[in-house]
Amino acid sequence: MEVTIDQNSGYCFGVEFAIQMAEDEMESGETLFCLGDIVHNDMEVKRLHAKGLRIITREDLLHLKDCKVLIRAHGEPPETYQIASQNNIELVDASCPVVLKLQNRVKNAFDVMEASEGQIVIYGQPGHAEVIGLTGQTKGKAIIIMHDEDLERIDFTKPVTLFSQTTKSTQGFYRMKAMIEERMKATQQDFQTINFNANDSICRQVSNREPQLKKFAQEQDIIIFVSSKKSSNGKALFSVCKAENEQSYFITNEEELVPDWFEGTSKVGVCGATSTPMWLMKNVADAIRLIGESCAA
């Protein structure tokens, strides 16, 4: 049985950088707190916990003093930096550079929109850490849209600047963009595109994965997709695999492998989400090889 790990799966550079930063900080043996899960993968969180990383909530942050807190790749709103400075907390800022750049763009656009009574609209998941960080650039005034009915909260008679959470689907973003444009045209007799500025801020590290994964899934007899159930990127990419290859299975670790899946199979592909560590995919690939050897014996 041939087992191949998809080389395009696994951490994006933002998550890779945040985990490396956490590991470097923990080398001193000091406890490092992390605001929210460093990555949406329980296995990786468990591994880093053993090294001294402690996950905290926003509420916990209010009560901490004189310690080190890591900001993960998703970034944080300005409020977090204020709390840290008031409580003598040293921030280890692992915000992804792509997210920081987007926060900056949202802030600048917000200043322009405020002056023209316009609105900042973000296509994203309400409550998602990155969206909280982006909304923080607009004094909490950004309108978050995820479903069609959320469009009702936009005033189509006023200017709109649209952005996207970096991990949303490109197709979904362009669909929302088209709907907003249509509603603005219907409401404004003299609609000008100047009133509507749409910024595709989806990270290419994520959007490029889909076509690469489609190809990989087509080339294999069966697909073992490794991800945490919490990862929205994991759910989306698994459905891409399933659409291309009916024999696709979702697992969180090697203990969930079922030997019957591999009967009569010669090509097995192992892949995962942007939050799946490479070491976990390697463990899964090794376990599959062992199953293959015991079937052949």
Q: Which of 25, 44, 76, 130 is catalytic?
A: 130
Rounded distance between C-alpha atoms, residue 129 and residue 198, angstroms? 22
Q: How far is the CB of 207 from ligand SF4 (least distance, A)?
A: 9
Residue 91 burial by Cβ neighbours in a 10 Å radius (0-12, 13-18, 19+):
middle
Q: How far is the CB of 17 from ligand SF4 (least distance, A)?
A: 8
Q: Are 295 and 6 in contact (CB under 8 A)?
A: no
Q: How far is the CB of 18 from ligand SF4 (least distance, A)?
A: 8
The order of strands in the sheet holding 2-5 is 2-5, 267-272, 222-226, 248-251
Count of residues that interact with ligand SF4, criterion CB under 6 A: 14
Residue 57 burial by Cβ neighbours in a 10 Å radius (0-12, 13-18, 19+):
exposed
Nearer Cβ to ligand SF4, position 7 or 294? 7
- 191 in contact with ligand SF4 (CB under 6 A): no
The stretch near ligand SF4 (CB under 6 A) out of 2-10, 24-32, 149-157, 198-206 is 198-206
For the question of residue 130 being annotated catalytic, the response is yes
Q: Which of 5, 9, 14, 89 binds ligand SF4 (CB under 6 A)?
A: 14
Q: How far is the CB of 108 from ligand SF4 (least distance, A)?
A: 18
Torsion, CA 51, CA 56, CA 61, CA 63, rounded to 10 = -90
Q: Which of 48, 61, 98, 145 binds ligand SF4 (CB under 6 A)?
A: 98
Q: Are 197 and 162 in contact (CB under 8 A)?
A: yes
Residue 295 burial by Cβ neighbours in a 10 Å radius (0-12, 13-18, 19+):
middle
- 167 in contact with ligand SF4 (CB under 6 A): yes
| AA identity, residue 199 | N
Q: Which of 274, 275, 280, 285 binds ligand SF4 (CB under 6 A)?
A: 274
- 237 in contact with ligand SF4 (CB under 6 A): no
| AA identity, residue 54 | R
Q: Which of 89, 96, 120, 142 binds ligand SF4 (CB under 6 A)?
A: 96
Residues marked as catalytic? 130
Residues forming the site for ligand SF4 (CB under 6 A): 12-15, 73, 96, 98-99, 166-167, 203, 205-206, 274
